[in-house]
Structure 1
Amino acid sequence: MGTTAASAPEEMVIRLEKLRPWLREHQAEAERQRRIPQETIERLDEAGVFSLTTPKRFGGADFTTRELHDIYRALGAGCGASGWMVWAAAGGNLWGAAFADDVVRPVYEPVRAGNRTFAVGGTSRRMTGTARRADGGWLVKGAWPFATGSIHASHGFLAVFYDETDDAKVGMVLVPKDQLVERDDWDAMGLAATGSQTVATDGELFVPDERFSTPQRLAARVAELTEQGTGPRRGGLPRSLVTGTGVALGMADHAMEVFLGGLGKRSIPYSPYTNQLDAPITHLTVGRVHSRIRAAGRVADAAVAELDRYDRQGVDLSEDQTVQMHTDVAYVWDACASAIETLFRACGASAMAKRQPLQLIARNCRAGSLHAAHNVDTWMENLGRSLCGVDLGPASTSVLERRS
C-alpha cells in the first residue's frame, strides 16, 4: 500500500484488528531488539499506518481527532510500543510545515516502508543542540536523546539554541539521518521497543539556511497553509497528545482481555479459592478496573469531541483550555497505567514471568505515563493554579510547544 496512500480510517482500524495477533506475538521480540522489527514496520505500512506521519499536502491522511484516536487505540491494543512510535512520529511531523515545500517534499516522496521523519526538542540546553551562523547556513552541534522514530526515519527535525545567552532563541533544523550518529543507547524498563535512542552530530554539521526554521515561521506557515486549505487540523500539540490517549486505552483493553482470558486457569494460593473465578475479590477487581478504564475513556472521548468541534468551527484553544487538555491526557495515562497494574497484582507471582504478556503491558503503559507531557502531578498542579486564578508563570517546555 505504501505510506502515501491514505486509507479510510475505518478500513485502517479493521486492518489493525486483523494484524493484532501478529503484533502481540512479536511484542516481546521487539522489546529484546529495543526497536520495532523491520517486518512489523512493513506490515504496518501495508495497513496504511504511516500515512498518519505524512503531511496532507504530500498525500498523507487528514483524519479527525476521533479517527486518529480510534486508530491509535486499535494499534495500542496490539502493541503499545508500536502505537507509541507511530503516534510520536506523526506528532513531530507538524514541523514539516515550517519549511518550504520544495525543501520538504523530497523527504516524503521516496517509496519506502516506515515513517519519514522524527522530531526531537529538549526542555534544556543539556538535551538540545546548538547552532551558530555560517556562510549560507548554520553549524549545528549536539546530542538529542529520546529520538523516538529515528531508527526507521530518513530525516530528523532537531531543536537547536542559536543564541548563547537567550533561551528564547530556539529553532529547528531538518537533517538527513545519515549525517547523524545513532548511539543505540535506548534501554528502558518500558516502551523499550520504541527505539528512542540518542542521535548526535560528529562535531559540527553544516545545515543550509533553507533547512533552518523557527516556531515563529512554523506558526506563520501553518496559518498560510490553513488559509489555502492544505494545512494541519487545529489543535497543535494538545491535539496530538489527546489522540495519543488511544495508545494508553488500547493497552488497557489488551490487559483486561489477558486477565479475563486467564480466569479459571489459576488458584489463589494460601486462600480457600482453588479457582480465582470463585473469589469475590476477583469480581471486585474486575469491576473496579473496568470502571476506571471506562472513566478514562469518557475523559478522552470528551476531549476528542471538543477538539473536533473547535476544528469545525475554526477556533483555537485558549491557554486555560490547553491546560485542561493536557490534564485530561495525563489523567487518562495515569488511570490506564494504574488499572493495568491492578490487574497485574491480581495475577500473583506467576505474572512476573517474561513469557506472560501482562507484565510487558504494565511496564509499557506506566512508562508512557511518566513522559513529561503526561505527568499527572505536574498537570494537576497546573490545572489547579489555573482554576484558582494563580499565574501559571513561564513553563519549561520543549521547542515543539514554544509559541511565536
Structure 2
Amino acid sequence: MSQAALETGNMSSINVAPVLKLIEKNAPEGKENRQIPNSSIEALREQGFFRMLLPKKYGGYECTPQEFFRSAIDIAERDMSTAWAGGIIAVHAYQLAIMPPQAAEEVYADTPDTLISSSYNPAGAKVKTVDGGFELSGRWGWSSGSGHCSWTLLGGVITDHPDGIHYRTFLLPRSDYEIEETWFPMGLHATGSNDIVIDEPVFVPEHRTHIQMDGFNCVHHQENPMYSIPWAQLFIRVVSSPSIGAAKHALRLFIENATSSSTDPTRLAGDPDVTVRVAKAATLIDETEAIIFRNFDEMLDKVNKGEEIPMIDRVKYRYQASLVIERMMEAVDLIFDVAGGRSVYDGSPIQSIWHDIHIARAHVANNPVGFARNYGGIQLSGESTDLFV
C-alpha cells in the first residue's frame, strides 16, 4: 500500500452531491448500453464512494452504514441502476474487511479504488478441495457492474471438505474468469448484470475464501467494532434501498408534472383520489427509509458497546429489509396509475422507474415470504433457519 493511498484514509466523510447531476445526465446512456457509463463510475470513484466501507488501513474511510446508505439512496434518486450496481460494488469492501486479512492486502495492494463484483448463487458452481485451497469452475448470473471490476466474489458449495458440506464465497482476479453478455432485461438496464464464466478450473487459495458461518458469527480482523455488524445486514440492503431513492424520484416527477403540465395546475390538487395517493406514497417512502436507519442505529449502538445483536433482532431486520421493494412498488404504483397518458410511452422517466423497481423484486433477497416465516417462527420460540441474517 502506497503512502498516498494510506493518507486518503484520513478523510472521515464522503459527499456524493457533486456528482449527482452527472449521474442523472448519464442515465439514458446507461440504459441504452446496459452498463453504467464509465464517467459515472469514475466520478463516484473520485468522490470516494467505493471506499466508504473500506478499513482505513487499506486507504478507506470506515464510514458508518448509515452514511453509506444515505449516499446510495441519494444516487438512486437520480438513477436506480447506478445505485444498485455501484452499491453492490462498494459493499464488497465490507466483505473483504471481514475475510482473512491476506485477501484484502492482495486486492488493495496497489490502490484502495479496486472494484469488485459478485454473484453469490452457487447453482452453477463446481468446487473441488485441493492442497492449499480449491479448484473452481462454472457459471454465475446477475454479476452487477462486473464490466467495471478487476475482481469478483463467487458463491459455491463445497461437498468434499473435511469440515463437511458448507457454503463459501471465492475471490478471484479478472484474469481467472470471462464475462458473457447476457443482460437484456425489462428494467435496471444499466446494472450490466452479466454472467461470470470459468470454463476450466482455476485455483483459489484458502485465504481468498469466506466461510458462510464466519459471516454469520461476525468474525472479523478489524479494530473498528462496526465490522461486527453481520455482513448479511449490509448486503441485503444494497439490493433493496435503491428503490427508496427511485420512489422519491418518481414522486418528484409526478408532482412536477401535476403542477406544470396542466392548463389548470390546481385541478389535481382538488382531486381527492390523487391527493390521497400522493400522501400514501410519500408516507410509505418516509416510513420505509426511517426503519432502515433506525435498524442500523440499533445495530451500531450494540456493537459499539461490545454487545451482540440478538438473533431475533437480526431476523427482524432481515425481514424488514425484504419488504422495502414491495413497499416502494406500492408507492410507485399509486402514482403511476394516475400519471397520465404520456407515461405509457417508451422513454417516459416515471415508466422507467416503474420497470426498475418491479425488476428489482425478482432478486431472491427481496422476496419476503421465507423471511416472514422465519421471523414469525423465532417469535414463537423456534430457531432461525436463515444463516444470512
Q: What's the TM-score, normalizing by structure 2?
A: 0.86
Contact 1:340–1:362 (CA under 8 A) maintained in structure 2: yes
Q: Aligned partners of 1:210 and 1:54: how far apart in 2?
A: 18
Per the alignment, in what secondary structure is the counterpart of residue 142 of structure 1? strand
Matches within 5 A, 1:223-262: 223=219, 225-226=221-222, 228-229=223-224, 232-242=227-237, 246-262=241-257
Separation in 1, partners of 2:380, 2:131? 51
Structure 2 residue aligned with 1:168: 165
Alpha-carbon offset, residue 341 of structure 1:
2.0
Q: 1:186 maps to what in 2?
A: 183
Letter of the aligned partner of 1:68 in structure 2? Answer: F
Determine which of 314, 317, 329 is the counterpart of 2:309: 317
Map of 1:307 onto structure 2: 299
| TM-aligned CA deviation for residue 44 of structure 1 | 1.2
- Paired residue secondary structure (1:257): helix
Contact 2:216-2:231 within 8 A present in 1 as well: no
More divergent stretch after superposition (230-239 vs 80-89)? 230-239
1:40 aligns with 2:40: yes
**What residue in structure 1 maps to residue 51 of structure 2?**
51
The residue type paired with residue 339 of structure 2 is C
Give the AA of the match of 2:156. V
- Tell me which amino acid in the other structure corresponds to 1:189: M
CA shift, 1:370, in A, is 3.2
Query: Matches of 1:200 and 1:85 in 2, distance apart?
Result: 19
Q: Are 2:115 and 1:131 aligned?
A: no
Q: Structure 1 stretch 19-28 or stretch 48-57: which is displaced more?
A: 48-57
Please give the TM-score of this superposition, normalised by the length of structure 1: 0.83
* Equivalent residue, structure 2, for 1:68: 68
Deviation at 1:97, TM superposition (A): 4.0
> Measured at CA, do residues 100 and 303 of structure 1 come closer, stay the same or move farther in structure 2, by a change above 3 Å?
closer
Corresponding letter in the other structure for 1:201: I
SS in 2 for 1:307: helix
**What is the root-mean-square deviation in Å for CA atoms of aligned residues?**
3.2
Choose which of 357, 362, 368 in structure 2 pairs with 1:365.
357
Preserved contact between residue 65 and residue 307 of structure 1 (Cα < 8 Å)? no
Matches within 5 A, 1:134-173: 134-163=130-159, 168-173=165-170
One of 1, 5, 15 as aligned partner of 2:8: 5
The Cα shift of 1:34 comes to 1.2
Q: C-alpha separation between the residues in 2 aligned to 1:235 and 1:217?
A: 10
| C-alpha distance 217-301 of structure 1, shift in aligned 2 (>3 A) | closer
1:294 maps to a residue whose letter is D
SS at match of 1:264: helix
Residues 319, 372 of structure 2: 8 Å contact kept: yes
Q: Report if aligned partners of 2:35, 2:145 keep a CA contact under 8 Å in 1.
A: no
Establish whether residue 214 from structure 1 lines up as the match of residue 211 from structure 2.
yes
Kindly indicate whether the alpha-carbon contact (under 8 Å) linking 1:141 and 1:203 is maintained by their aligned counterparts in 2: yes
d(CA) in 2 for partners of 1:217 and 1:379? 21
The equivalent residue for 1:281 is 273
Q: What's the counterpart of residue 21 of structure 1?
A: 21
Give the letter for the 2:116 counterpart.
T
CA shift at 1:164, angstroms?
5.7
Distance 2:285 2:44 in 1: 26
Aligned partners of 2:176 and 2:285: how far apart in 1?
Answer: 44
Shift of 1:258: 0.8
Say if 2:44 and 2:50, in contact at 8 Å, map to a contact too.
Answer: yes
The Cα shift of 1:39 comes to: 1.1
Q: Which residues of structure 2 form unaligned runs of 5+?
A: none
Q: How far apart, in 2, do the equivalents of 1:17 and 1:2 lie?
A: 23
Tell me the SS of whatever aligns to 1:182: strand
Task: Tell me how far apart the structure 2 counterparts of residues 181 and 4 of structure 1 sit (CA, whole Å).
Answer: 34
| Shift, 1:243, TM fit | 6.7
Equivalent pair of 1:285/1:342 in contact (CA under 8 Å): yes
After TM superposition, list the pairs within 5 Å mapping 1:385-400 onto structure 2.
385-392=377-384, 394-395=385-386
Residues 238/280 of structure 1: CA separation in 2 closer, same or farther (3 Å cut): same
Matched residue type, 2:72: Y
**How far does residue 51 in structure 1 lie from its aligned partner after superposition?**
1.0
- Does the Cα contact within 8 Å between 1:54 and 1:116 map onto a contact in 2? no
Q: In the aligned structure 1, how far is the partner of 2:209 from the partner of 2:319?
A: 32
Partner of 1:281: helix, strand, or coil?
A: helix
CA gap of 1:41–1:371, structure 2 versus 1, over 3 A, is same
Relative distance call for 1:213 and 1:284 in structure 2 (3 A) is closer
Give the secondary-structure state (helix, strand or coil) at the position aligned to 1:172.
Answer: strand
| Percentage of identical aligned residues | 19
What is the count of residue pairs matched by the alignment? 384
Answer yes or no: is the 8 Å Cα contact 1:242–1:325 preserved in 2.
Answer: no
Equivalent residues of 2:240, 2:366 under 8 A apart: no
The 3 A distance-change label for structure 1 pair 360 and 5 is farther
Query: What is the correspondence of 1:288-303 to structure 2 with a 5 Å cutoff?
Result: 288-303=280-295
2: CA distance, partners of 1:78 / 1:8: 24
Question: Matched residues in 2 for 1:315 and 1:230: separation?
Answer: 10
